[in-house]
Amino acid sequence: MAIQVGTYQQTDLRLTSFTNKRNFNTALTGGPFSGDVVGHWRAFFVRLPSGYNLLNQRIVMAGADLNGAGSFNNGNDWTTRIPGGSLGTPTNIRQRLQLMDATAWTSLEGNITTISQIAIGTVYLVVTGVANTGSNASPVWRNFAAICPVGGTPESEVGATATTTTFLANTNQRIFEILLPRLTTVASPAGTTMEEVAYCTGDFPWDTANNRPHHDALAALATNGGLTYETMLAAQNAGTLGYANLRTENGGNGKGRLEYRFTLRDLSAGLVNSGAIAGNLSEAGTPGGLTVVSQIAPTQYNPVVAPAITVPVVRFVGGRGTRPMVRTGTYGGTTTSLQRRVIYGTSPVNEGAVAGAVVPGFDWSTSGMTLNAGQFTCSVALPVGGPYTLEIRDTNDTGNTAIPLTDNIVGTMVNLWGQSGAALALRMGGNNEPWGPNNLNVAIAANALGYALRLTNIDANGSSTYQQPQPGAAVMRQGTTPAVGHGFALAVNEWNAHHPRHPLAIVVPAINGTAMSDWAANALVLGSASWRYLGSKVAPGVSAADGSGVVGYHALLQDSYTDLHLIMWTPGMDPSSTVRANWTAAIDGLFSNSPTAPWLVFPPWRQSRELPDQSSTFVKRNEHVSYVAELGARGALAPYWPDVIADGTGSLHSANAPSPGGVPSSGPISDANAVGQGRLGRGIGRSIAWYYDRRVKGEPLQIVGAAFTDGSRNVIRVQLPRQMRTLNGAALANRFSISLDNGVNFGLVGQAGNGDATAVTAALASDGRSVTLTRASGAWPATNVRVDYCRDWPFGPTEAVDEANTEALLYGLLYDSQTFRGNTNLATPAGNALASSNLVGAGVAGVAVAAAGGAAALVSTTRLTGARTVEVEMVDSGGNPLRTKTVTITAS
């Protein structure tokens, strides 16, 4: 691009501070000089507008005007004029150069009459100056002027006599001031175009044989693919310019340093001086009189620069299709406009999509593109799906394209918070490992597309030598077996079963051995010297956190946005509602583009712990339930799973021993986390699916009622929420607890914990819809009796030392008919598990045992809205249906 006078006499370009000419006789040191005695030269590219031949003024292209009135006639002014083609006198300089370099030329101005006229509409390089054509020890000074049409033949004129000593020693001339002046009638006319301007301290390459500025150099500067001022000077200063008969001295072919260098490619960066003397041009007069037009200088001054898309770490766009994909990048050279196009990438999940085809509505267009000073932003509102490939190209040079940006995905993004139970739910490994292996070789299902994000070195190596946390992102494509842990893959597949063709991103910021209170307080992570739990939205440095933190860095990577927070935190969930509120606020503050994102709260699932380990208790689960209530409309209660398999002997988690056959501290058997992560992966995937569609059978299942069967009160019938079963034909495990003090204390039936050690047997009804608890003798009290199920984590390390063999014990728990949670070692996979009330306190924990003969009721068991059509059956005592009715329930 170049600058053109748009409105005559309105605006020109000027320096606001000036530098005076030096005494040329003084040898220079510093920069490229070492005792060099040199002159100066100025250069620019210019194109005259039509009608120039009719003008009669001594029009100025560039100059210094000491009296500031636009006369350019002060004895210390310098000008480069191109008089109009109808100049009165002298006629021999019509449309030729007329120069004043103070007193360098004899008389005030040099009439360059031997060089051809400057043709209208042709772009010319103009170079004028004073050069030492002799040596540093014995200078021989000559004024010179030269033109060369771009791609054409140079012409030059050299002063017949030596430059005056007055000029050489004079220090009163401003060496640079005005371009395209606006004042008086010598102002550059509208349509005059200029680009690539330079003032150089130095000697232009000189042809010593022809005693003129070297025409090879002039031609090279004015020919496409040739030299720029900078490359010519670099060669001069190195003595490698290579033309014939060059003056060679002191290691150079003449020396030079750009003092002022303006590209004039636009009215912003184009006015910035890249030369050695400080000072930019600015628009003087009334801005707006200059316009930006297409480039006039040869291509090497502003070569074609390919646009480049900045590659973000995270290319998953959350928002479920409501947020645009925003990408940034750079452009340069001759580019003034960019287009974007979006095509489908590899194995797209969108309905009917074909890899490589244009996404409907997103063919080449400038829509969504904003350009500013070499930086572009592209914003496109893509539909849920992907992966998408973004393409960018120059609108006016469509072969000038950016490297496409692949694997952009649009869907639902979730974050899983907590400590080790969450950190190891879907993946194996410590805080310095990202994914863990896909031991089950789970392939991603058809139409599914997943994305997993986890920081390596998420604790920055704690109190040991800092290790930079670095993001690891993995795309899980349909039909492939990804390298990420099988927990992730199973979660994505289960989600996809209910929300097909809707990509899911799972981000896991949870860190082993950390507590919510430390996160909320922005403490240093596990003894790190600089890495904090919250921090700011900056990337961590190579050798220190530099203000970054776990949440801050995730917010930076995720554009401060997530669709849904997941949390399971034991024992680190804080008992204080104030701390929980502080935690929520801290997350919301950094995830500022989703400050009201919902929370799906999982009461802690079973791990290999039991009392007195407080992390295992209903107290901790009750805190999670309380957190849901505190979150109000943002909170949702997810299932508590009493049947997650931990790994190996006393390993405590579903993922602590990645190698089959061993655990870190002792043997004997590890299943490589397959069952545990299998159930959690599928369970978490279904829970997320259920969150967004409450018709999915993934809600928490609890006892819905209990009553004495008759007045003797020696049998309690426990009402189950669905038709339930044990697995693999196992006997019903007795995990029912009874309270005799209205829910303050519970004990497993038949044990002394509730003050009643009478033997009680539990039996699942043949229709699977109730369990009877039968006392061996005596009766329960009429009031204050409550029942719960799996109130304590069943089969902890005391009951079942070898975790790998615990699985068989867990077959005896109760499950609905769904078959999605874990199929390793199971003839029939487990469905949703019956679980505890997860509540603590009199009158709320468990379910009250009612007197016999109470009314039946239809109940809702979770939050849902809308109209539901449910079939209710009335059956006789033999289980035979007597009446079936369709009921429409309106839920809010």
Partner 1 sequence: MIGAVGRVGSVGGSRGRVTIVTGGPDFTLSNATVTTEFGLVTVGTLTPVNAPPGVTFRIKETAGASGDDAGFAVRNG
Residue from 21, 621, 722, 725 binding partner 1 (CB under 8 A): 722
Q: How far is the CB of 580 from partner 1 (least distance, A)?
A: 16
Q: Among residues 89 and 869, whose Cβ is nearest to partner 1?
A: 869
Per CB under 8 A, does 890 bind partner 1?
yes
Q: What's the token pair of residue 147?
A: 């033109």
Per CB under 8 A, does 875 bind partner 1?
yes
Per CB under 8 A, does 695 bind partner 1?
yes
Per CB under 8 A, does 446 bind partner 1?
no
Per CB under 8 A, does 22 bind partner 1?
no
Reported as type and span, the H/E element at residue 130 is: strand 123-132
| Contact indicator for 825, 888 with CB cutoff of 8 Å | no
Q: Within 495-534, which residues bind partner 1 (CB under 8 A)? A: 497-498
Residue from 14, 620, 717, 791 binding partner 1 (CB under 8 A): 717
- Cis ω on the peptide bond leading into residue 500 (within 30° of 0)? no
Residue from 17, 23, 777, 892 binding partner 1 (CB under 8 A): 892
Q: Among residues 587 and 847, whose Cβ is nearest to partner 1?
A: 847
Number of CB atoms found within 10 A of residue 562's CB = 24
* Burial zone of 808 (CB within 10 Å; 0-12 exposed, 13-18 middle, 19+ buried): middle
Residue from 183, 636, 813, 830 binding partner 1 (CB under 8 A): 636
Per CB under 8 A, does 721 bind partner 1?
yes
Q: How far is the CB of 842 from partner 1 (least distance, A)?
A: 16
Per CB under 8 A, does 891 bind partner 1?
yes
Residue from 297, 628, 672, 688 binding partner 1 (CB under 8 A): 628
Q: What is the DSSP code string of 718-759?
A: EEPSS--B-STTPPPP--EEEESSTTSS-EETTSGGGT----
Choose among 639, 647, 616: nearest CA to 816: 639
Q: Among residues 535 and 639, whose Cβ is nearest to partner 1?
A: 639
Q: How far is the CB of 841 from partner 1 (least distance, A)?
A: 13
Per CB under 8 A, does 158 bind partner 1?
no
Reported as type and span, the H/E element at residue 225 is: none
Residue from 16, 817, 841, 842 binding partner 1 (CB under 8 A): 817
Q: What is the CA 272 to chain-centroid distance, rounded? A: 31
Q: How far is the CB of 698 from partner 1 (least distance, A)?
A: 8
Per CB under 8 A, does 696 bind partner 1?
yes
Q: How far is the CB of 723 from partner 1 (least distance, A)?
A: 6
Residue from 116, 172, 396, 861 binding partner 1 (CB under 8 A): 861
Q: Which of these segments, 119-127, 586-594, 801-809, 817-825, binds partner 1 (CB under 8 A)?
A: 817-825
**CA-to-CA distance for 474 and 314, rounded, in angstroms?**
10
**What SS3 class is residue 219?**
helix
**What SS3 class is residue 819?**
coil
Residue from 217, 637, 771, 800 binding partner 1 (CB under 8 A): 637
| Contact indicator for 760, 780 with CB cutoff of 8 Å | no
Residue from 112, 707, 733, 814 binding partner 1 (CB under 8 A): 707
| Contact indicator for 834, 720 with CB cutoff of 8 Å | yes
**CA-to-CA distance for 869 and 890, rounded, in angstroms?**
9
Q: Which of these segments, 63-71, 313-321, 659-667, 874-882, binds partner 1 (CB under 8 A)?
A: 874-882
Per CB under 8 A, does 286 bind partner 1?
no
Phi and psi angles of residue 518, each rounded to the nearest 5 degrees, phi first: -70, -40
Residue from 22, 320, 634, 697 binding partner 1 (CB under 8 A): 697
**Torsion of the alpha carbons at 545, 546, 547 and 552, rounded to the nearest 10:** -60
Q: What's the token pair of residue 165?
A: 């000593």
Q: What's the token pair of residue 334?
A: 């001759």
Q: How far is the CB of 421 from partner 1 (least distance, A)?
A: 21
Reported as type and span, the H/E element at residue 236 is: helix 229-238
Choose among 823, 878, 835: nearest CA to 722: 835
Choose among 423, 428, 583, 608: nearest CA to 507: 423
Q: What's the token pair of residue 706?
A: 């209990």
Q: Among residues 360 and 854, whose Cβ is nearest to partner 1?
A: 854
Q: Among residues 710 and 802, whose Cβ is nearest to partner 1?
A: 710
Q: How far is the CB of 486 from partner 1 (least distance, A)?
A: 20
Residue from 90, 121, 513, 853 binding partner 1 (CB under 8 A): 853
Q: Among residues 78 and 569, whose Cβ is nearest to partner 1?
A: 569
Per CB under 8 A, does 633 bind partner 1?
no
SS3 letters across 781-804: CCCCCEEEECCCCCCCCCCCCCHH
Q: How far is the CB of 837 from partner 1 (least distance, A)?
A: 8
Per CB under 8 A, does 850 bind partner 1?
yes
Choose among 371, 302, 293: nearest CA to 334: 302
Q: What is the DSSP letter of 184?
A: S
Number of CB atoms found within 10 A of residue 796's CB = 22
Q: How far is the CB of 681 from partner 1 (least distance, A)?
A: 16
Per CB under 8 A, does 354 bind partner 1?
no
Per CB under 8 A, does 704 bind partner 1?
yes
Q: Among residues 167 and 820, whose Cβ is nearest to partner 1?
A: 820
Q: Among residues 331 and 820, whose Cβ is nearest to partner 1?
A: 820
Direct distance between the N- and C-terminal alpha carbons of the chain, in angstroms, rounded to an integer: 62
Q: Among residues 276 and 844, whose Cβ is nearest to partner 1?
A: 844
Q: Among residues 50 and 886, whose Cβ is nearest to partner 1?
A: 886
Q: Among residues 188 and 737, whose Cβ is nearest to partner 1?
A: 737
Cα torsion angle, 108, 112, 113, 114, sign: positive
Per CB under 8 A, does 882 bind partner 1?
yes
Choose among 488, 416, 422: nearest CA to 451: 488
Per CB under 8 A, does 635 bind partner 1?
yes
Q: Among residues 424 and 706, whose Cβ is nearest to partner 1?
A: 706
Per CB under 8 A, does 683 bind partner 1?
no
- Given its phi and psi angles, is residue 483 left (phi above 0), alpha (psi -120 to 50 degrees) or beta? alpha
Q: What is the CA 295 to chain-centroid distance, rounded? A: 35
Total residues interacting with partner 1, rule: CB under 8 A: 69
How would you classify the pairing of strands 141-149 and 155-158? Answer: antiparallel
Q: Within 828-847, which residues bind partner 1 (CB under 8 A)? A: 847
Per CB under 8 A, does 827 bind partner 1?
no
Per CB under 8 A, does 763 bind partner 1?
no
| Contact indicator for 624, 684 with CB cutoff of 8 Å | no
| Contact indicator for 371, 338 with CB cutoff of 8 Å | yes
Q: What is the DSSP code string of 862-880?
A: S---EEEEEEEEEE-TTS-
Q: Among residues 292 and 704, whose Cβ is nearest to partner 1?
A: 704
Reported as type and span, the H/E element at residue 659 is: none
- Given its phi and psi angles, is residue 534 left (phi above 0), alpha (psi -120 to 50 degrees) or beta? alpha
Cα torsion angle, 838, 844, 845, 850, sign: negative
Residue from 80, 188, 570, 770 binding partner 1 (CB under 8 A): 770
Write the interaction track for partner 1 spanning residues 462-501; mark x where CB under 8 A is met and - where it is not: -----------------------------------xx---
Q: By the criterion CB under 8 A, which residues form the site for partner 1?
A: 497-498, 625, 628-629, 635-637, 690, 693-700, 702, 704-705, 707, 717, 719, 721-723, 767, 769-770, 817-818, 820, 847, 850, 852-865, 868-877, 882-892
